[in-house]
């Protein structure tokens, strides 16, 4: 399985539409910053990442999940620094031979991300 | 005695008012409890986070019986909230 | 919920990256034609759609699922006619306030699509 | 007597060799069993599909006790395979 991880402070661009040979399913996920946090209007969130550990944890998690839900490719982009409302903080793109594996990989990866990967919403910027 | 470098993130760096600290560490290694004792001596403001923060060692979560040795990079990992 | 359905014999283009106000999660799915069908190499599949019924069934299913998994927008594009290997036969884009609803909508919609929506792989074209 | 138009899709149109047929229909309506009887009289090659094909009426699946009336658009829906 081909795993690519990128941490960036730049806006996440549109993904490459090319598909890998043998891929029957492509699942993409964008986690977008919403305009309200704890009942207060915000203009954006600030993210902090412990990059070497986040990279290692992501690879570990994906490897574990791949044993149950075999996929072909896994691409993660996560932003750090300020992310304005309406922009994506995270982008995932998963290719698999079949849709069930790709969907399960997405679902379980996101659950694990939110418990184990050292990334934090470290602040929000009020309007 | 050697040293362990301890990185602070998110609420831990806010509470400590800095991004990292060094903690003395015996060659034979120290457990998490001793790391906390020495950290809190330097940064008592971290005390309230102790119940929720996990310790990482060289980019892996430290097992309950894990040890830190001089030269290791440790980190305080408050509850994560990525995505 | 805003539901858009399109049946086309043209290649499915990249999706509009703009997100709807209040959307915290965007899930996209591409179902791609693979190069092997029943152990034979193929150059593509031919799809047939009973369009007015397919449109109605999709709306019905999405409406039912929306009660359990509230989403903001649902866009479906499905091709008919010949679809070459490596191209998408189906594209879904779902926006929701939270990721769980969007993922569940995708998963359950695809299951229902494959039992209830009058669309057929009506033939495959050998290499 | 009126008529019901019956559309054939996928394996049904292949088996019938055409895309649709019309079937006579009483004003009071006919059930699925009578529709099949009249369809098979015209297109005996559809017989093998009867066990797997569902009937639609005006773009809805017909309930087990549903009736077709003159002017309805029916369709033979073989097992679907979209996506």
* Residues C40-63 pLDDT 10s: 899 999 999 999 999 999 999 999
User: Which long-range contacts does A114-117 make (Cβ < 8 Å, 24+ apart)?
Assistant: A114/B80, A114/B81, A114/B82, A114/B83, A115/B80, A116/A57, A116/A61, A116/B61, A116/B80, A117/A54, A117/A57, A117/A58, A117/A61, A117/B80, A117/B82
Cβ pair D9:C31 closer than 8 A: no
Give the model confidence (pLDDT) of D60-77 as tens digits.
Answer: 999 999 999 999 999 999
- The dihedral through the CA atoms of A92, A98, A100, A105 has a sign that is negative
Per the CB < 8 Å rule, is C113 touching D83?
yes
User: Whole-angstrom Cα distance, residue A110 to residue C92?
Assistant: 20
Answer whether A60's CB lies under 8 Å from A93's CB.
no
Q: Is A29 on the interface with C (CB under 8 A)?
A: yes
Q: Do D7 and C117 touch (CB under 8 A)?
A: no
Q: What is the pLDDT of residue C15?
A: 80
| C residues 65-124 lying closer than 8 A (beta carbon) to D | 78, 89-90, 110, 113-122
Give residue C92's region: left, alpha or beta (phi > 0; psi -120 to 50). beta
Report the b/e string of D13-27 with b at 16+ CB within 10 A: bebbeeebbebebee
CB pairs under 8 A between A and C: 77
At residue B6, the pLDDT reads 98
Of C31, C56, C122, the CB nearest to D59: C56
Q: Does A52 touch chain C (CB under 8 A)?
A: no
The whole-angstrom separation of Cα A118 and Cα A57 is 8
Question: Which sign does the torsion angle of CA D60, D61, D62, D64 carry?
Answer: negative
Distances (CA, A) of A24 to A28, B41, C76, D7, D80: 14, 57, 17, 31, 18
Q: Which of C124, C121, C119, C122 is nearest to C109 (CA)?
A: C119
Q: What percent of chain A has pLDDT over 90?
A: 85
Is residue A9 over pLDDT 90?
yes
3-state secondary structure of A126: strand
Cα–Cα distance, C14 to C77 (Å, whole number): 11
Nearest CA among A33, A75, A72 for reference residue A58: A75
Whole-number pLDDT of residue C14: 84
pLDDT at B64: 93
B71 φ/ψ angles, rounded to the nearest 5 degrees = 95, -15
Does residue C108 sit at the A interface (CB-CB below 8 Å)?
no
A26-77 confidence digits (pLDDT tens): 999 999 999 887 888 999 999 999 999 999 999 999 999 999 999 999 999 9
Helix or strand run (H / E) with residue A125: strand A119-126
**3-class secondary-structure state, position C118:** coil
The DSSP line for A65-82 is HHHHS--SEEEEEEE-EE
> Is the pLDDT reported for residue C83 higher than 80?
yes
Q: How far is CA B65 from the centre of its chain?
A: 15
For range D29-53, the mean pLDDT: 97
According to DSSP, the β-strands at B73-77 and B2-8 are: parallel
CA dist., res. C67 & res. A70, Å (int): 31
What b-and-e string marks burial along A55-64, b requiring 16 or more CB atoms within 10 Å of the CB? bbbbeebbee
Q: What is the mean pLDDT of residues D5-10?
A: 98
Residue A122 has pLDDT above 90, yes or no: no
Whether the CB-CB separation of A35 and C21 falls below 8 Å is answered with: yes
pLDDT score of C122:
85
Mean pLDDT (whole number) for C70-96: 97
A22 pLDDT higher than 90: yes
**Structure tokens, A111:** 């659950």
Label residue C69 by pLDDT band (50, 70, 90): very high
Q: Identify whether the C-beta of residue C94 lies closer than 8 Å to the C-beta of residue C24.
A: no
Predicted pLDDT at A125: 85
- Look at residue D32 in the predicted model and tell me its pLDDT: 97
Q: A73-110, pLDDT tens digit by residue?
A: 999 999 999 999 999 999 999 999 999 999 999 999 99
- Note down pLDDT in tens along chain B; length 83 residues: 899 999 999 999 999 999 999 999 999 999 999 999 999 999 999 999 999 999 999 999 999 999 999 999 999 999 999 99
Q: Is a pLDDT exceeding 80 seen at residue C66?
A: yes
Angle between helices C51-68 and C99-116 (to 10 degrees): 140
pTM of the model: 0.95
The ipTM is 0.94
Asked if D77 and C115 come within 8 Å (Cβ–Cβ), the reply is no
How far is it, in rounded angstroms, from Cα A111 to Cα C55? 34
Three-state DSSP string of C1-33: CEEEEEEECCCCCCCCCCCCCCCCEEEEEEEEC
Q: For residue A123, what pLDDT is reported?
A: 81
Against chain D, the chains showing at least 3 CB pairs within 8 Å are C
Q: Which one-letter DSSP state was computed for residue B68? A: B
Determine the pLDDT at residue D7.
98
Interchain CB distance below 8 Å, A31 and B83 = yes
């Amino acid at each position: 399985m081909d795993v690519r991880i990128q941490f960036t402070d730049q806006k996440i661009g549109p993904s490459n539409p090319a598909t890998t040979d043998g891929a029957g399913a492509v699942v993409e996920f964008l986690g977008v910053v919403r305009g309200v946090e704890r009942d207060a209007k915000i203009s954006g969130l600030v993210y902090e990442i412990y990059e070497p550990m986040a990279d290692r944890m992501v690879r570990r998690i994906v490897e574990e999940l791949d044993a149950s839900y075999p996929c072909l490719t896994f691409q993660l982009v996560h932003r750090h620094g300020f992310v304005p409302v309406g922009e994506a903080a995270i982008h995932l793109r998963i290719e698999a031979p079949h849709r069930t594996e790709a969907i399960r990989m997405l679902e379980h990866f996101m659950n694990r991300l939110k418990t184990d990967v050292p990334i934090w919403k470290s602040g929000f910027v009020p309007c | 005695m050697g040293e362990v470098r301890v990185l602070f993130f998110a609420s831990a760096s806010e509470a400590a008012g800095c991004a990292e600290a060094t903690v003395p560490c015996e060659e034979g290694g120290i457990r998490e409890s001793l790391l906390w004792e020495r950290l809190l001596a330097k940064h008592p403001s971290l005390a309230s986070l102790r119940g929720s923060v996990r310790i990482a060692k060289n980019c892996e979560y430290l097992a309950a019986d894990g040890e830190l040795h001089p030269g290791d990079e440790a980190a305080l990992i408050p509850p994560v909230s990525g995505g």
